[in-house]
Structure 1
């Protein structure tokens, strides 16, 4: 079978693909040069919406409202935009074989694609409980969330079990955001996670105590220090019971699992260099294979600020890494150069009427300041992380745009501090004085 040739192919149809397409278009693109190949049925969209407004019972977000690139305040790119720019959207297409040396891709239906430059933007997928052989984990009514089809299935499950009992397995981003969504949908919600507090990869015990207290005030029940070891189902095969390692059992009409993700790199095994679970790239997101780039969740890149290689799973990095790769591709074609990627790690979350942002690195000692009583309306508090007498990370709940910019500057500039006590006393004033 003859191959369909494109000058550029983006493999993957998530956030990174949409931002890369916009950058290609802005830098000059001839019709027919670029194709996006995605196993999803829709044009690239802002994936974070799925665990937020998409699940709201009223005023829910729906496409085309959150196609990229609205998540960063840019222009929305509906399917028609790609056609207008001469970009081929090849949807509902699963690539099952890739030859990076030849830059050929083969789909499950046998179609062959070939390109001059390939951008790998395959992202990550959820880790399933069936991967660990958890008994009954393949029952109906157990949901995961990564793509719009997953969200649609969860919405259908919510509608089928109005006022039912929901169990969230996992206490990270997905667990916390979905617990809020299900409470808003008037379900009886219990969260289960093995750690001593929620979001342990970022939160300190004191920060976590605020969010756990707030969630409990909204009706979320929290079970910590144990894991789900099995599920039971009714005669129709629908989950109705969650068994925990500590012996407890929880009735369940809906189970939502958020226990982590893994980068989708299996197609490329043995063909390029890997590091820390991802595809090793340079500061321009070039892989070890000429003409092949990797961006977003799959890329292990030089984090210049900390002089180390790191893989980051977050929408902000997906957007910015895609733009960096495209700029390098086009600059190279023109015999020009661009600056190295200099990323400041950034994470955020919104749930109920809470909204926090974090910048930098959460290593070293932490200092919490402000109002951490979850019963106080619109409580504002934050934290700094100190390493080698420098502030390397900053967190803020309920910050204004200017305040969030201020803590970002702190994390970027890494100012020195005299003492943790002085830093705690100054709180946000410390950030506002950094120039």
Structure 2
């Protein structure tokens, strides 16, 4: 029986009006968002028995889903930079590279450069910016986040030419061109988090003098303590990066051509620069379903299978506020690891429900990492309680290995390691997962990585 007829029968059983069905393009599954989560959802659907014509993926981007972390790392390298098709999903987790032809071969409709502008959850329809109407059986929202723009904060001059942000490959290409056009001018990186650190490293590798500006007292304040951050600050300064902390950008001056020429800071100082990159955070993209399904903590509230308050709609990745089983609360996590795993969880739950089965609830271990220069760190768990550093006496060396544990109520809640091997990183992940009891923090200081090896 043709797929469209099967789908008409399916929708009739769901009490969808015939007039709506006749006007819409019918799909059993629709994924809105062609980023990391969208690509991993596609792979999981195929793995679990997707039939040709059942799935459509909508993406605002021009490229098939790719591993977004590459953009702030290898994509900007001066030598042998990463380029597509080299980092299409799912190579970031060791899987098959899903080139654009892969989707067609699997019978998946991949609608690039297409945005959903209207949603009707009652009739289960989506309208694109091109005027097409699609009817879904099950919808997965994987719209991710977008960068915070200084223009949103009404920063004077934030609309100047020469100010860049990084979220997609188009943004990365603009930064690459700016790097090529740079003639010894100093650059300003606004922000001291992940994006700021990785972009500052890449620009420095391209022989550009970098000034990092951020309001917090140290780098990566959401994770690093001042003691932990001090190593990275010294390391970056040793590479020639000028760190300006504890202040914010108040305005940008422009030249006669509307190009940025100077960055004015709240502390009264300024930096002459024609090249500015901003990384001050992100916000989840809830449109076009914002207000149509229940929200919590800045995202769509979902259960352990990523089902929203609407039984036909799932939300994954950055936009999902989900039950964090390990800690007994609900959280929204912006990270590629969660984007991958939550997408897979949602698809598994959808396919299981079709057979009257259920999947195990999502049991996520928070994971964050970064790579810049010759540095590479990983963190697992929850950074709550007392921070216990180990190995810091030798941390002035460029290739030193050191770490930290976070202890609350005599339990190790989080673990951090700089310079670890894959096996060593697995050890600290196990510590964060099992939350071992410690009688004294002295055993963590003296044991270091050895403590993790005994768990």
Give the structure-1-normalised TM-score. 0.98
CA contact (8 A) 2:215 2:246 kept: yes
Work out which of the residue numbers 181, 184, 197 in structure 2 matches 1:163: 184
Distance 1:93 1:163 in 2: 39
Work out which of the residue numbers 232, 245, 250 in structure 2 matches 1:211: 232
Work out which of the residue numbers 159, 174, 188 in structure 1 matches 2:209: 188
Distance 1:2 1:240 in 2: 53
Distance 2:393 2:297 in 1: 35
- How well do the aligned residues superpose, as a CA RMSD in angstroms? 1.0
Partner of 1:54: 75
Distance 2:229 2:398 in 1: 17
Distance 1:204 1:372 in 2: 16
Distance 2:123 2:150 in 1: 36
Gaps of 5+ in 1: none
TM alignment of 1:263-412, pairs within 5 A: 263-371=284-392, 373=394, 375-412=396-433
Distance 2:370 2:148 in 1: 21
Partner of 2:28: 7
Segments ≥4 residues shifted beyond 6 Å: none
CA contact (8 A) 2:395 2:401 kept: no
**Matched residue of 1:208: which SS?**
helix
CA drift of 1:377 comes to 2.9
CA drift of 1:374 comes to 5.1
Distance 1:261 1:341, change over 3 A: same
CA drift of 1:111 comes to 1.6
Work out which of the residue numbers 59, 63, 76 in structure 2 matches 1:38: 59
Which string of whole-angstrom CA distances, capped at 9 and with x for unpartnered residues, describes residues 145-192 of structure 1? 000000011111111113221100000000000000000111110000
Distance 2:258 2:175 in 1: 17
CA drift of 1:375 comes to 3.8
Distance 2:122 2:89 in 1: 31
Partner of 1:257: 278
Distance 1:371 1:96 in 2: 52
Distance 1:408 1:185 in 2: 34
Larger deviation: 17-26 or 159-168? 159-168
CA contact (8 A) 1:214 1:374 kept: no
1:63 is aligned to 2:84: yes
CA contact (8 A) 2:158 2:251 kept: yes
Distance 1:373 1:219 in 2: 21
CA contact (8 A) 2:443 2:451 kept: no
CA contact (8 A) 2:235 2:398 kept: no
Work out which of the residue numbers 47, 50, 55 in structure 2 matches 1:26: 47
CA contact (8 A) 1:16 1:121 kept: yes
Give the structure-2-normalised TM-score. 0.94
Distance 1:65 1:35 in 2: 24
Give the paired residue count: 434
Gaps of 5+ in 2: 1-21
Partner of 2:102: 81
Partner of 1:137: 158
CA contact (8 A) 1:210 1:372 kept: no
Q: Which has the larger radius of gyration?
A: 2
1:428 is aligned to 2:449: yes
**Matched residue of 1:300: which SS?**
strand
Distance 1:40 1:272 in 2: 25
Which string of whole-angstrom CA distances, capped at 9 and with x for unpartnered residues, describes residues 329-367 of structure 1? 001111122100000000000000100000000000010
1:147 is aligned to 2:168: yes
Distance 1:120 1:314 in 2: 16
